[in-house]
């Protein structure tokens, strides 16, 4: 059984932890969860797995897989250490890789330590096809992300527009993924995943909308190249705990864990 450690015990982290603990994520066992405030959690004194605020204690558990579910800051703070301790690293806050120096640091570290950095599809899909198509040549990749107003509280859009009174869709960003990933660290990680699978952060075109007429988080992907074309629309049900994040994100991490211990892998 591979030992799993999770950084961040919020919306994604909790769903993933439960699945691992209940044996729904393949041949892996929940060893430790790194949190910022242990007193918030009912299971903080669990005897079956460790919940700790102490990063040394967390990384001393001989983890085989570390899953980051905590945000860009946690990728910066703990990514290198996870790989240094000999774990494979699953990243959901992949927008942190818009910072080329951080991306290079972690990719070099993974190579030196013979470990893998694994990026689940998370909130989007089609990465298998985009990554294969980018063997190339690939001409164009675009993403349009739309979420309801409630998903944008706590982001910079809250300063641009009155979210409570919006009656028409509002285009909050138009540009390239390098900027969308940086400007919306909790909300448009999908643009980073798409860039890494396809033609990079500076060529992937992105539009971001607040849309009062929708109830799902919608991502529309279009790509063209020698392979042909792809047009894909994804509608994620927002999780009850965090409207920025779809339930599918934790499901995708759980599927990744299953793949890591299975002799049959489909859909990568
Ligand atoms: N790749 C993708 O498609 C997606 C990526 N994400 C990423 O996942 C992140 C987490 O999403 P949610 O679980 O919905 O957020 P959340 O806010 O519900 O949970 C995040 C948890 O991480 C904890 N945390 C933050 N920094 C930490 C640190 N340094 N050490 C330990 N714990 C720390 C917070 O206290 C919180 O409990 C987002 O910020 C976003 O970057 C989210 C949705 C989709
Ligand atoms: O869950 C979603 O629809 C997308 C998301 O938050 C992200 O890309 O960070």
Output the average pLDDT for the chain: 97
217 CB near ligand 2 (under 6 Å): yes
Question: At the topology level of CATH, where does 2-123+248-260 sit?
Answer: Rossmann fold (3.40.50)
- Residue whose CA lies nearest to ligand 2 atom number 6: 187
In this prediction, the answer to ipTM > 0.90 reads yes
Q: Residue 177 annotated as binding?
A: no
What are the pocket residues of ligand 1 if the criterion is a CB atom closer than 6 Å to any ligand atom? 7-13, 34-36, 69-74, 77, 92-94, 122-123, 185-186, 189-190, 193, 241-242, 245, 249
Note the pLDDT tens digit of each residue in 13-48: 999 999 999 999 999 999 999 999 999 999 999 999
CA separation for the pair 100, 242 (Å, rounded): 28
First vs last C-alpha separation in the chain: 22
pLDDT at 160: 93
Q: Where are the domains of the chain?
A: 2-123+248-260, 127-244
CB atoms within 10 A of CB 153: 12
Span from the CA of 233 to the centroid of ligand 1 (angstroms): 24
Span from the CA of 10 to the centroid of ligand 1 (angstroms): 6
Q: Per-residue pLDDT averaged across 82-110, rounded?
A: 97
Query: Is position 84 annotated as part of the catalytic site?
Result: no
pLDDT at 267: 87
Note the pLDDT tens digit of each residue in 156-200: 999 999 999 999 999 999 999 999 999 999 999 999 999 999 999
Q: How confident is the model at residue 268 (pLDDT cuts 50, 70, 90)?
A: confident
Res 250 pLDDT > 90? yes
Architecture of domain 127-244: 2-Layer Sandwich (3.30)
Q: Which atom of ligand 2 is nearest to the CA of 92?
A: 9
Selection from 258, 193, 227, 263 nearest residue 4 by Cα: 258
Note the pLDDT tens digit of each residue in 222-234: 999 999 999 999 9
Q: Residue 87 annotated as binding?
A: no
């Amino acid at each position: 059984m591979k030992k799993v450690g999770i950084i961040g015990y919020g919306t994604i982290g909790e769903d993933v932890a439960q699945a691992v603990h209940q044996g729904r994520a393949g041949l892996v066992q929940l060893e430790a969860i790194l949190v910022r405030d242990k007193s918030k959690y009912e299971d903080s004194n669990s005897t079956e797995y460790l919940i700790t605020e102490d990063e040394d204690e967390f990384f001393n558990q001989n983890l085989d897989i570390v899953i980051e579910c905590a945000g860009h800051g946690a990728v910066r703070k703990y990514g290198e250490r996870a790989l240094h301790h000999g774990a494979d690293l699953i990243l959901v806050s992949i927008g942190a890789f818009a910072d080329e120096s951080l991306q290079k640091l972690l990719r070099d570290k993974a190579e030196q330590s013979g470990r893998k950095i694994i990026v689940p599809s998370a909130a989007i899909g089609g990465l298998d096809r985009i990554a294969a198509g980018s063997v190339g040549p690939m001409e164009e990749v675009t993403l349009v992300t739309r979420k309801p107003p409630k998903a944008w509280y706590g982001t910079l859009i809250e300063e641009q527009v009155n979210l409570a009174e919006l009656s028409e869709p509002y285009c909050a960003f138009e540009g390239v993924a390098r900027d969308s990933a940086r400007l919306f660290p909790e909300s448009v990680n999908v643009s980073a995943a798409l860039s890494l699978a396809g033609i990079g952060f500076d060529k992937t075109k992105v539009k971001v909308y607040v849309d009062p007429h929708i109830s799902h988080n919608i991502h529309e992907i279009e790509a063209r190249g020698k392979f042909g074309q792809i047009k894909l629309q994804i509608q994620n049900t927002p999780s009850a705990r965090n409207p920025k994040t779809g339930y599918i994100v934790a499901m995708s991490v759980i599927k990744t864990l299953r793949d890591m211990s299975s002799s049959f892998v489909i859909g990568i």
